[in-house]
Structure 1
Amino acid sequence: MQRFFIYLILIIVAFLLFGWYFSNITLYLVISLIIAALLRPMTNHLNDFHLLGQHIPRWMAIIISYSSIVLILVLLSLLFFPLINNQIVILSELDLDTIYQEIHIPVSKVENFLFRYQLLENKPGYLFEELKSQIINMIKSVDFGMIISNILNTTSSLFIGLLAVLFITFFLLLENGLLRRNLLNLIPNPYFELSVATFTKVEKLLSNYLSGLLLQMLAIFSLASFGLTLVGVDYALTIALFAAVANLIPYAGPILGASFGIIVGISTGNFEETKELNLLLLKILSVFGAVQVTDNIFLQPMIFSKSVKAHPLEIFVVIFAGAKIAGVAGMIFAIPVYTIFRVSIMEFYQGYKSYRIFKIK
C-alpha cells in the first residue's frame, strides 16, 4: 500500500518535472491530445463508412478530418480579408501633409499657452521641431534587422510546432486508443479497476469541457455578431469571430475582444463630429457588456463549474496559477490539466476508502 503511493507520487513528480523541463514538447502533446479528442468522432465515423463495399482506410479518414479543419479555418480567415484590405487602402491614401497640419495645430496651441505664461523661452516652433526630432531618433534607434530576425525565428518556431502537433495528432488518431491501453498496461493488476474508472471519468469530464467550450465560442460569436449588426457596426462578423476566439483566454479575453472592436470601429469609421465617435463607442461597449453578462451568468457556470465539477473559486485560482507558470497558454490549458490531477486524486482517495485493495496489508 505505502509502496504504491510512493510510486504514484514519484510518477506525478516525474511528470511535472518533465512538463516543466520540456515545456514545448508538453505543450505540443497537450494540444495534440485536445485536437485528437475533437477529431476522433469524425474520424471513427469516416472509418466505419463503406465505400465500394470496403471501409475507408483510417489514414484516409484522418486526412479528410484534417482537411475539414483546414477548410473551416480558411473560411473563417476570409472574414478578416475585407478588414485587412480596408486598412491597406486607408494607409495607401494617407496624406502626409494633412497629418502634418493636424499634428502641428494642437502642438502650436500648447506652445502658445506655454509662451503666454512664460513657461517656455525658446523660439516659436521649437516644441514641434523637438517632437519631430524625437520621433525621428526613435525610428532610427529601431533595429529592423533584429525585428526581422525575431519574426523569422517566431515563424520557424510556429511552423515546427505545427508540424509536431500534426504528426503527434495523426498517430494518436491512427492508433485509436493505443496510448491509453499502453498506460493501463503499466498499472499493476490490483489497481487496474480503479485506474480504468479514473481514466474514464477524466475523459468524460474533458470531453464535456471541450464540447462546452465550443458551445460557448459559438454562443459568443452569435450574440456579438447579432448585436453589432443590429447597432450598425461595420465588420460585425469579423469582430465577433475575434471576440469568440479571444474568449478562450479567461478574464483577459473579453477585454481583448472589446478592444479589438473599438479599434476596428474607429479605424474604419468616418466621424464628422465627436458625438458620432462617442455613439459608436457606446454601441460597441453596450454589445460586449450584454454579451459578457450573458456569458458570466449563463454560459460560464454551466461550462466550467458543472462540466469540470469544481468550485468557481478553484477555477479562479487555477487560472491565475496557470498564467504565472506559462502565461496565456497556461491560462487556456489550466482547467484541463487541473481536471486531470483533481479527478485522479479524488478517485484514488475514494478508492482508498472503499476498495479492498487498499486495505491489504
Structure 2
Amino acid sequence: MEKITSSKGKQILIYATLFLVGIYVLFLSLVKASSFLIPLATATILALLMIPLSRRMEKTFLNRSTSSLLSTFIVLLVSVGFMALVSMQVKTVVDDWPQIKETMKPKVENLKAFLLEHTPLNAKDLESSDQGSGGFLMNSNSNAGQKAATFLNKVLGFFGDYLLTFIYLFFLLNYRHRFKKFLLLLFPDSKRHKVQSVIENSAKVTQKYLVGKLILIGLLAVLYAIGLGISGVNNFILISLLAAVLSLLPYIGNIVGFGLAMIFGYLVSGETGILIGIVLTFTVAQFVESYILEPYIVGDQVDLHPFFVILAVIIGGMVWGIAGMVLSIPILAIVNVVFDHISPLKPFGFLLSKEKD
C-alpha cells in the first residue's frame, strides 16, 4: 500500500514538474517569437473583424482576392487616419509644452512641500532625485549616436511589423476557406460536421464581439470628447481618443485615461470647474458604458470573469508589452468561445465566464 501511494506521489510530482516546465517553455517561446507572433495575432483579430464585410463584397461582382484587398486597404486607411489624428494632437501638446511646464511648476513646488511635510523625505532626497534625472539626461547626450541608432531601429521595426500585419491580413482573408478546410482535414469524416459547426459558431460570436467593441470605442470617444470639451480640457480630442482606445484594457485603461485627463486638464489649468467636469465626464461615461452600451452593443457574446481579464492583461503585458495587453482580451475571448462550443472543454469556459456559482 505504501509503495502504491509513493508511486502515485512520484507520478503527480513528475506531471507537475512537466507542466511547470511546459508553461515556462511556452512563455519563453512567446517572448522570443514576439516579432513574428504579434503581427500574425493582430492580423488574425483584424481578419475576424473584416470577414463579414468581405463576404458582403463577394456577394456582388467582386471576387475574393479583390474583396480581401479592399478590406485590407480599408483597415490600412483607418489606422493611418487614426495615427495622423493622434500625431496632430501630440504635436499641439509638444508645441504647448513650455507653457504647460510653466503652469505646472507651482503645482510641482506645492507637491514637494506636501511631501516634505507629510513624508519622511527631506529636501536633500528631492534634490538628489532631480539631479539624478538631470544627470541621466546629461549622460544620455554622450550616447546620442547610440541612442539615435536604437531609436531608428525601433522605428524601422515598428513600421516593418505594421506593414507585415496588413500582408498577413490580406492572405488570411483571401485564403480563409483553405485554412478552414485544413482544420477540417485534421479530423476524421465522422467528426467534421461537428468541427465545422464549432468553427462557424466561434467565428460568428467572435465577430459580433469585436464589432461591438469597435462601436463601443467610437461611442465612448464621442462621449469623452463632448464632456471634456465642454469642461474646457486642452487637447480633449487626443485624450478622448486615447481613453476610448484604452477601454480595450478593462479597469486599467479607464484609470490611465482618467489620469491623462487630470494631467492635461486640471493640473495644467488648476481650475476647480475643469476638475468637476472631468470627474463628471468619466463617471457618466463609465455608467453609460457599463449599464447601457456594454449590455446592448457587445452583449453577452463573450462574458469574461474580471479576475481572468486582469490576469490576461498582466500576462499579456509581461509577454508582449503594450501589444500583448491590447491583444490579450480578444485572444482570451476567442479561447473562451472555443471552450464553450467544445463539450470536453466547457468546464474551462465556465471558469473563464461570469456565470453565477
Instruction: Confirm or deny a common fold (TM above 0.5).
Output: yes
Deviations 1:51-99 (A, max 9, x none): xxxx34543433333333333344444544553443344357899xx99
- Segment drifting more, 165-174 vs 133-142: 133-142
Residue number in structure 2 paired with 1:285: 279
Counterpart secondary structure, 1:307:
coil
Deviations 1:3-24 (A, max 9, x none): xxxxxxxxxx899687565343
Residue number in structure 2 paired with 1:123: none
Cα contact 1:32–1:169 (8 A) shared by 2: yes
Deviation at 1:302, TM superposition (A): 5.7
Residue number in structure 1 paired with 2:253: 253
Deviation at 1:34, TM superposition (A): 1.4
Please state if 1:35 is matched with 2:29. Answer: no
Q: Judging by fraction of residues, say which structure has more helix.
A: 2
Residue number in structure 2 paired with 1:334: 328
d(CA) in 2 for partners of 1:207 and 1:147? 42
d(CA) in 2 for partners of 1:192 and 1:128? 68
The percentage of aligned residue pairs carrying the same residue is 22
Residue number in structure 2 paired with 1:68: 74
d(CA) in 2 for partners of 1:136 and 1:314? 41
d(CA) in 1 for partners of 2:126 and 2:174? 66
Residue number in structure 2 paired with 1:235: 235
Give the CA RMSD over aligned residues. Answer: 4.1
Please state if 1:150 is matched with 2:112. Answer: no
Task: Report the CA distance shift for 1:266/1:201 in structure 2 as closer, same or farther (over 3 A).
Answer: same
What is the one-letter code of the residue matched to 1:216?
A: L
Task: Report the CA distance shift for 1:26/1:188 in structure 2 as closer, same or farther (over 3 A).
Answer: farther
What is the one-letter code of the residue matched to 1:41?
A: P
Please state if 1:22 is matched with 2:8. Answer: no
Residue number in structure 1 paired with 2:19: none
d(CA) in 2 for partners of 1:161 and 1:261? 30
Task: Report the CA distance shift for 1:201/1:19 in structure 2 as closer, same or farther (over 3 A).
Answer: farther
Deviations 1:192-239 (A, max 9, x none): 122122212211221121012112202211211121233333433332
Residue number in structure 2 paired with 1:45: 56
Deviations 1:237-285 (A, max 9, x none): 3321111112112222112212222333368x6x5xx5x2x33233223
What is the one-letter code of the residue matched to 1:162?
A: Y
What is the one-letter code of the residue matched to 1:153?
A: N
Deviation at 1:159, TM superposition (A): 1.9
Task: Report the CA distance shift for 1:158/1:347 in structure 2 as closer, same or farther (over 3 A).
Answer: same
Cα contact 2:302–2:337 (8 A) shared by 1: no
Residue number in structure 2 paired with 1:195: 195
Residue number in structure 2 paired with 1:359: none
- Segment drifting more, 16-25 vs 305-314: 16-25
Please state if 1:226 is matched with 2:262. Answer: no
Q: Which runs of 5+ in 1 are unaligned?
A: 1-12, 50-54, 114-118, 121-125, 353-361
d(CA) in 2 for partners of 1:176 and 1:162? 21
Match of 1:139 among 103, 121, 137: 137
Counterpart secondary structure, 1:233:
coil
What is the one-letter code of the residue matched to 1:296?
A: S
d(CA) in 2 for partners of 1:320 and 1:135? 28
d(CA) in 1 for partners of 2:305 and 2:95? 50
d(CA) in 2 for partners of 1:317 and 1:324? 11
Cα contact 2:30–2:319 (8 A) shared by 1: no
Q: Name the larger-Rg structure.
A: 1
Task: Report the CA distance shift for 1:145/1:292 in structure 2 as closer, same or farther (over 3 A).
Answer: farther
Counterpart secondary structure, 1:161:
helix
Cα contact 1:224–1:288 (8 A) shared by 2: yes
Aligned length: 310
Task: Report the CA distance shift for 1:281/1:182 in structure 2 as closer, same or farther (over 3 A).
Answer: same
Alignment of 1:87-106 (within 5 A): 87-91=93-97
What is the one-letter code of the residue matched to 1:170?
A: F
d(CA) in 2 for partners of 1:203 and 1:240? 31
Cα contact 1:239–1:257 (8 A) shared by 2: yes
Cα contact 1:319–1:330 (8 A) shared by 2: yes
Task: Report the CA distance shift for 1:262/1:29 in structure 2 as closer, same or farther (over 3 A).
Answer: same
Could you tell me the TM-score, scaled by structure 2's length?
Answer: 0.70
d(CA) in 2 for partners of 1:88 and 1:309? 40
d(CA) in 2 for partners of 1:264 and 1:28? 32
Deviation at 1:127, TM superposition (A): 12
Deviation at 1:321, TM superposition (A): 4.4
Task: Report the CA distance shift for 1:324/1:296 in structure 2 as closer, same or farther (over 3 A).
Answer: farther
d(CA) in 2 for partners of 1:248 and 1:190? 40
What is the one-letter code of the residue matched to 2:35?
A: N
What is the one-letter code of the residue matched to 1:35?
A: L
